[in-house]
């Protein structure tokens, strides 16, 4: 795939296409929606499943080749969303999975403290300090303009709300407020969703929806070790829903309250952990490239000491694989974290559950608690990165845009179009369709002009369309229309009986 254009695509155009074509809808839309929740439509679920299946195949069924030239050993798992609540005490989530938040007494809105910034005028100290959510400086410019102050952004310094001097706090106007001084002091807010198990709702029956899939893996580490023939180093992988009561869900599906993760815990000897950490950082970045993200849009970033999660402090750090999302451009946002968790989690569960979670090395007779390297990817964020990457404006096409998905993850692989609804063309097309639909997602469409049918497939990102025309009726060949290079003077023709093979070869 070619390198991306420098100008980021407008986010509203992507959101509108996703709604129009049935990729993503707001959850509970007919009731006015619910903040931080999204539904995947017919094309969206195919796309999401394809990314999920690619990850599962490339991590579990056919994992990468290790540094010694041998295939790695990774097994799968599907653990419960609700676990014994003591799990989250041991994991550190009850005490440490907090975000600082501030409330606005005027608008009743709630914000992540560390996402709030203010613009402070460089010279006019009488001006109030307008707070805005990270990544939204236009908001402040508009607000000042409305008040006839004609603000120019370059006249202001931007600083984090946390860095605003205490004496100036009463002059800060919240993002949705009119009056200054309505933002409260920050308070810690636990991100886990709480529920109750059984008929009685009290503190003894309280439980949590999992905030990460990872803990289910640590809980089953011993079960897997005792029942499968894995030996260290090995991995356990899981894909599934995670829930976080985010203070400020935003940027479409980037930060939502219900989302999916694709996580793998790699158990290894302590002395090998550093080597595996580097291996997985590189392997995971390459994987995202293999399904269509371009090098120029990806960046590796090491966490600073003060932003490390509680578990990663025990290990040697965390690398984020970041993607240049339309709303972060020219900056980047986290797509996947690769964390060196040390032996933090297994040791914690060993202590809290009083169950030995050591590994016994038969050759050396050594006993140790394995160290863990964790590539933790967001499936929902992966969908957003892939959608952003694929969105390709093209004013020469009737659709004005096409979705340049890697054929492996395109929701629909092929479309079959009879040129006209007569002369035996629909029947021949139908026969081809009945064959292809057994092999991969295929669409058959006889309605409207062929141009409109191509336009619809361009927006769905279908890599190949096959047209049945009058020549087909004579020589049993069809035209191939390639989504990315549709305007060729002499269209490619292949024989009807080669179509299935052609698509299979191109999507693998």
Binding site for ligand GAP (CB under 6 A): 212, 214, 244, 246, 255-256, 259, 261, 263, 334-337, 374, 376-378, 380-381
Alpha-carbon gap, residue 90 to 351, rounded angstroms: 8
Instruction: Please state, in angstroms and as integers, the Cα–Cα distance from residue 423 to each residue in 332, 426, 429, following that order.
Output: 54, 8, 11
What is the chain's percent helix, strand, coil content, to nearest 5?
A: 35, 30, 35
Confirm if 494 and 477 have CB atoms less than 8 A apart: yes
Q: Which of 232, 233, 373, 236 is nearest to 314 (CA)?
A: 373
Which CB atom, from 263 or from 469, has the smaller least distance to ligand GAP?
A: 263
Confirm if 384 and 253 have CB atoms less than 8 A apart: yes
End-to-end CA distance of the chain: 16
Give the phi and the psi of residue 146 in degrees, each rounded to 5: -55, -35
Q: Which residue is nearest to ligand GAP (CB)?
A: 378
Q: Closest separation between CB of residue 186 and ligand GAP, Å?
A: 19
Q: Closest separation between CB of residue 146 and ligand GAP, Å?
A: 32
Alpha-carbon gap, residue 256 to 259, rounded angstroms: 6
Which CB atom, from 257 or from 413, has the smaller least distance to ligand GAP?
A: 257
Q: Closest separation between CB of residue 484 and ligand GAP, Å?
A: 28
Which CB atom, from 255 or from 413, has the smaller least distance to ligand GAP?
A: 255
Which CB atom, from 357 or from 376, has the smaller least distance to ligand GAP?
A: 376
Q: Closest separation between CB of residue 214 and ligand GAP, Å?
A: 4
Q: Closest separation between CB of residue 92 and ligand GAP, Å?
A: 12
Which CB atom, from 103 or from 334, has the smaller least distance to ligand GAP?
A: 334
- Check residue 92 and give left, alpha or beta (phi > 0: left; psi -120 to 50: alpha): left
Instruction: Please state, in angstroms and as integers, the Cα–Cα distance from residue 236 to each residue in 221, 226, 412, 420, 448, following that order.
Output: 8, 13, 31, 53, 50
**What ranges in 193-343 are assigned the alpha helix state H?**
214-219, 221-227, 273-290
Q: Closest separation between CB of residue 228 and ligand GAP, Å?
A: 22
Q: Closest separation between CB of residue 94 and ligand GAP, Å?
A: 16
**Strand ranges in 89-190 using DSSP code E only, listed in sequence order:** 98-103, 110-112, 116-121, 129-133, 156-160, 172-173, 187-190
The total of other beta-carbon atoms located within 10 Å of residue 320's CB is: 20
Which CB atom, from 322 or from 445, has the smaller least distance to ligand GAP?
A: 322
Spatial neighbors of 505 by CB under 8 A, at least 6 apart, are none
Which CB atom, from 341 or from 406, has the smaller least distance to ligand GAP?
A: 341
Q: Closest separation between CB of residue 424 and ligand GAP, Å?
A: 51
Which CB atom, from 248 or from 462, has the smaller least distance to ligand GAP?
A: 248
């Amino acid at each position: 795939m070619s390198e991306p254009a420098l100008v980021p695509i407008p986010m509203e155009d992507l959101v509108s296409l996703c709604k129009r074509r049935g990729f993503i809808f707001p959850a509970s839309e007919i009731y006015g929606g619910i903040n931080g929740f999204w539904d995947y439509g017919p094309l969206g679920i195919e796309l999401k499943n394809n990314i999920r299946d690619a990850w599962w195949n490339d991590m579990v069924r056919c994992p990468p080749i290790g540094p010694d030239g041998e295939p790695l050993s990774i097994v799968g798992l599907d653990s419960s969303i609700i676990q014994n609540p003591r799990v989250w005490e041991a994991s550190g989530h009850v005490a440490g999975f907090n975000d600082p938040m501030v409330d606005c007494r005027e608008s009743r809105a709630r914000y992540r403290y560390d996402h709030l910034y203010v613009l402070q005028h460089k010279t006019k100290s009488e001006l109030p300090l307008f707070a805005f959510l990270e990544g939204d400086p236009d908001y402040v410019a508009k607000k000042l303009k409305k008040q006839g102050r004609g603000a120019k952004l370059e006249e202001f310094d931007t600083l984090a709300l946390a860095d605003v001097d205490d004496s100036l706090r009463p002059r800060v106007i919240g993002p949705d407020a009119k009056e200054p001084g309505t933002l409260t002091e920050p308070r810690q807010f636990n991100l886990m969703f709480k529920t109750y198990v059984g008929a009685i709702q009290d503190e003894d029956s309280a439980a949590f929806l999992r905030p990460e899939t990872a803990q289910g893996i640590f809980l089953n580490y011993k079960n897997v070790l005792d029942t499968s023939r894995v030996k260290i180093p090995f991995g356990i992988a899981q894909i599934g829903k995670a829930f976080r009561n985010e203070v400020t869900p935003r940027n479409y599906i980037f930060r939502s309250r219900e989302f999916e993760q694709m996580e793998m815990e790699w158990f290894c000897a302590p002395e090998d952990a550093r080597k595996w950490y580097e291996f997985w950082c590189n392997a995971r970045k390459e994987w995202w490239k293999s399904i269509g993200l371009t090098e120029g849009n990806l960046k590796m970033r090491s966490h600073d000491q003060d932003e490390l999660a509680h578990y990663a402090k025990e290990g040697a750090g965390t690398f984020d694989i970041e993607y240049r999302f339309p709303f972060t451009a020219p900056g980047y946002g986290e797509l996947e974290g690769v964390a060196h968790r040390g032996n933090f989690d297994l040791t914690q569960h060993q202590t809290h559950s009083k169950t030995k979670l050591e590994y016994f090395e038969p050759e050396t007779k050594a006993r140790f608690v394995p160290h863990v390297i964790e590539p933790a990817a967001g499936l929902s964020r992966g969908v957003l990165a892939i959608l952003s990457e694929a969105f390709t404006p093209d004013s020469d096409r009737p659709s004005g845009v096409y979705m340049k998905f890697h054929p492996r993850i395109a929701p629909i692989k092929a479309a079959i179009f009879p040129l006209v609804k007569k002369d035996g063309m629909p029947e021949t097309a139908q026969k081809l369709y009945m064959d292809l639909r057994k092999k991969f997602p295929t669409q058959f469409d006889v309605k409207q002009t062929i141009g409109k049918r191509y336009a619809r497939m361009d927006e769905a990102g279908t890599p190949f369309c096959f047209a049945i025309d009058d020549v087909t009726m004579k020589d049993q060949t069809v035209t191939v229309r390639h989504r990315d290079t549709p305007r060729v003077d002499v269209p490619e023709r292949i024989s009807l009986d080669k179509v299935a093979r052609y698509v299979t070869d191109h999507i693998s």
